[in-house]
Chains A and B, each alone.
Chain A
Amino acid sequence: MNTAHTLLRDALRADIMRLEGFRPQSWANHADLGPLQETFPNGFPKGALHEFFASQPESLAATLGFLSGLLAITHKSGCILWVSANRKVFPPALQTFGLDPGRIIFADLKSERQIPWAIEEALKCTGITAVVGEMKALDFLTSRRFQLAAERTQLSGFFLRTGLVNKEPTACVTRWNVEAMNSITIQDESGVLPGIGFPKWKVELLRMRNGSPNTWELQWSQQQFIDASSQPEFIQQQVIAS
């Protein structure tokens, strides 16, 4: 394919995105996403909403790990408001994923009904960089309101949809599902070494506006995402040494 074709194709893509309401500057977060970079060639979207499904406490734990890693990479400074009515996250664990717990302000509301209001207020505030909301229900109208507020302030919204939720369409740009996988442990001549390896997840991008869904097997080590799909569950010691 020659250069003219590539240029034309890129221009057309940009046109389509503009027609769909995406402003070019909203794709400005140039952080190193590792294996995810391929799916987000223009950087992780800013001023957009992302939702994560987690029905079981185990998958919520995996989602929290992935989300903290993502927040640490894409939002390196500023504070994050964490809105929930029944908070499960234990702050000291977040630093394992590079996120300083002191940067997070928790708003522990008394009822689920106040959450949409609190999230919308937070998305209108310029003093923070991201909003995380734990919620069960999120309909299209509410998510559209959030999207409009986020576009104005260029804040990111991350929604943890806990419990059994109906997966009706929302205005979120991406939709994720994260499940835990067996971690990779080292094997030497004497057998398998005891202990648990780095956290490893199966990350599914179920839906993405202007992009294609994808699935990864990611491992969190050395403060970044590493593609672990090619590695077996038990790796030989010499592989590590090389």
Chain B
Amino acid sequence: MSRYVSIWFPHLRTDWHALREPHLHQLPFVLRSLQHNRMVVSACNAMAQASGILVGMPLADARAIVTNLQVKDDADDLPIKLLTRLATWCIRFSPTVAVDLPNGLLIDVTGCTHLWGGEEKYVFNLMHKLRQRGYTLHAAMADTIGHAWGLARHGGGIVPAGKHLDHLLHLPPAALRLDPETNIQLHKLGLQCIGQIFHIPRTSLRKRFGTEILLRLDQALGHVIESLTPVIVPEPYQHRLPCLEPVKTPTAIAIALQQLLEELCLRLQKESKGLRTCTFSAHRIDGKVEQLKIGTHQATHHVSHLFKLCEPKLTTIDPAWGIDLFILEATGVEACSPQQEVIWDAQQHHAALAELIDRLTNKAGDVIHRYEPAQHHWPERSIAQTKSLHTQTTLWPAAHLRPVQLLAAPDRIEVTAPIPDYPPMLFRYKGQLHHIVKADGPERIEQEWWITPGLHRDYYRVEDENGKRYWLFRLGHYQEKTAQWFLHGFFA
């Protein structure tokens, strides 16, 4: 049996303004917005309402009723912002919290209330904490979303599980989440409570009011299943650690992390799964959420390794006035076989290597590379990064010698090359003259025109009089004066 809580903030927007300017509490106060070229009241506080101001009334009329009326401009996106913030804060009461525009929240509390010692205490706690934040609210708990919504706006309270039918029939039709026109119509027809509608045949209702009223009635009765859209979708691998008292010392945060990791890893181990990415979030009492994220190179459920990865980032969590809830979410989970694969030949130290790589990437970023031969002759493109560190690379081509040092961009050199298609006799590199005594080549490497257009390169391996070996190339065909020569690498 599901249980839902609906919270209604009758003066959400004015309460928020009053929080920022406390003197507004003592004064009649409204928000205004422009509708059809006239200023109307779009929200009012309890005091203004008591003196007869209604939402939708022209502002001039409101000023006529109350002389010392305080007026502020309204913002359209304020309710969604406020409600999302409040919903995120309410995560500590239940993982499934949804925003209910324009002025409410819906919480799926199934299986959560016993943690607070019963439904009364749960609702009391929730209302008390929200009131402390400075909002006026009404809350109700019932078996269906529709019923809880209606009850919150018409009396509030808790309907015991299984008793909702009797209770619902006494509520006014406005509790059914119908549009205002239908509400007025029902009122005019003298239908004062849902019980009266309930006894009218369904076909007559559909003919008179359309299908919406039937749907709403079914939802409130629980005949039609309704689902919530939670503000934060709960992860399947999520562990929570609420604190009795807010904590703010680094040791306490570290202990919380350790405890959550142990819980999570134990569960992952049982399901023979491993963690790839996870988020550790700390919910502060002032409503902010501090987060840290880690990623591993290989699925793992090794507590001390994961703790080591998080440890340097723990200092980034600012506890401010205290943290009262820690959540550890495994956002990326992969199957992880307990039997370690062998790395290359006889290597058995796979896990230790993976942990080293995790430590390096966590501190320094994406720095780990391993290469495999690519199907290109063009030197710059002849190697490619491997995706995995475990696979055996394909055989490296051994037909052509390559320099141990390859310059990222070839360096221009001046040469004396009098004979066509022969290596130069001497060249000048960085101001120094080199006489070539031995040479090999040419090795012609064509530009891959389907990737980039350009001229081919004729490579020569040369050795100067001091025994230093270089890799030179000429761009394109031989031309006595205009040929361009480059130095591209150093041989051992």
Binding site for B on A (CB under 8 A): 57-58, 60-62, 64-66, 68, 77-79, 81, 88-97, 100-110, 114, 117-118, 121-122, 125-128, 179-183, 185, 194-197, 199-201, 220
Contact = CB atoms under 8 A, between A and B. Distances in A.
Contacts of B373: 92
Contact of B356 (A94, A121, A196): A121
A102 B404 contact: no
Interface stretch (B50-58, B228-236, B347-355): B347-355
Given A79-B344, A195-B440, A196-B439, A100 B396 contact: yes
A126 B404 contact: no
Contacts of A91: 371, 383
A104 B368 contact: no
Given A127-B347, A195-B439, 4 more contacts: A60-B490, A90-B404, A104-B370, A110-B367
B492 A110 contact: no
A110 B365 contact: yes
Interface stretch (B133-141, B172-180, B465-473): B465-473
Contact of B367 (A62, A79, A107): A107
Given A61-B492, A110-B364, A128-B353, A180 B469 contact: yes
Contacts of A65: 404, 491-492
B252 to A, nearest CB: 28
B181 interface: no
Shortest 5 CB-CB contacts between residues of A and residues of B? A65-B492, A127-B353, A127-B352, A102-B393, A61-B490
Contacts of B492: 61-62, 64-66, 68, 93, 96-97, 180, 199, 201, 220
B360 interface: yes
A109 B368 CA distance: 8
Given A77-B347, A90-B404, A61 B469 contact: yes
A223 to B, nearest CB: 12
A195 B469 CA distance: 12
A68 B404 contact: yes
A194 B368 contact: no
Interface string B385-420: 010010011001110011111100000000000000
Contact of A118 (B354, B364, B383, B392): B364
B468 A58 contact: yes
B345 interface: yes
B370 A105 contact: yes
B489 interface: yes
Interface string B333-345: 0000000000111
A90 B405 contact: yes
Given A106-B370, A127-B353, A180-B469, A196 B345 contact: no
A61 B404 contact: yes
13 contacts: A61-B490, A78-B344, A78-B347, A81-B356, A90-B402, A93-B401, A93-B491, A95-B396, A95-B398, A110-B367, A125-B352, A127-B352, A197-B438
Interface string B124-155: 00000000000000000000000000000000
B437 to A, nearest CB: 7
The DSSP consensus for interface residues of chain B is mixed
Contact of A182 (B357, B360, B437): B437
Contacts of B396: 92, 95, 100-102
Nearest to A182: B467
A100 B372 CA distance: 10
B218 interface: no
B363 interface: yes
Contact of A90 (B344, B392, B406): B406
A102 B346 contact: no
B457 interface: no
Contacts of B461: 196
A209 to B, nearest CB: 27
B369 A102 contact: no
Given A107-B360, A127-B353, A89 B344 contact: no
A102 B370 contact: yes
A20 to B, nearest CB: 30
Given A110-B367, A183-B467, A194-B440, A61 B403 contact: yes
Nearest to B487: A57
Contacts of B212: none
B424 to A, nearest CB: 15
Given A64-B404, A125-B355, A118 B360 contact: yes
Nearest to A62: B492
B359 interface: yes
B463 interface: yes
Given A180-B468, A196-B461, A77 B404 contact: no
A186 to B, nearest CB: 11
B189 to A, nearest CB: 74
Nearest to B380: A90
B479 interface: no
B382 interface: yes
B438 A183 contact: yes
Contact of A122 (B345, B356, B379, B491): B356
Contacts of A201: 492
A108 B369 contact: yes
Contact of A196 (B349, B405, B440): B440
A93 B372 contact: no
Contacts of B359: 121
A182 B463 contact: yes
A114 B365 CA distance: 11
Contacts of A97: 492
A219 to B, nearest CB: 11
Contact of A94 (B368, B372, B404): B404
Contacts of B462: 196
Contacts of B406: 88, 90, 93
A63 to B, nearest CB: 8
Contacts of B353: 79, 105, 125, 127-128
A220 B349 CA distance: 32
B351 A127 contact: yes
A71 to B, nearest CB: 13
Contacts of B365: 110
Contacts of B402: 90, 92-93, 96
A58 B466 CA distance: 10
Contacts of B439: 194-196
A94 B462 CA distance: 19
Nearest to A178: B492
A105 B368 contact: yes
A61 B352 contact: no
Nearest to A117: B363
Interface string B419-436: 000000000000000000
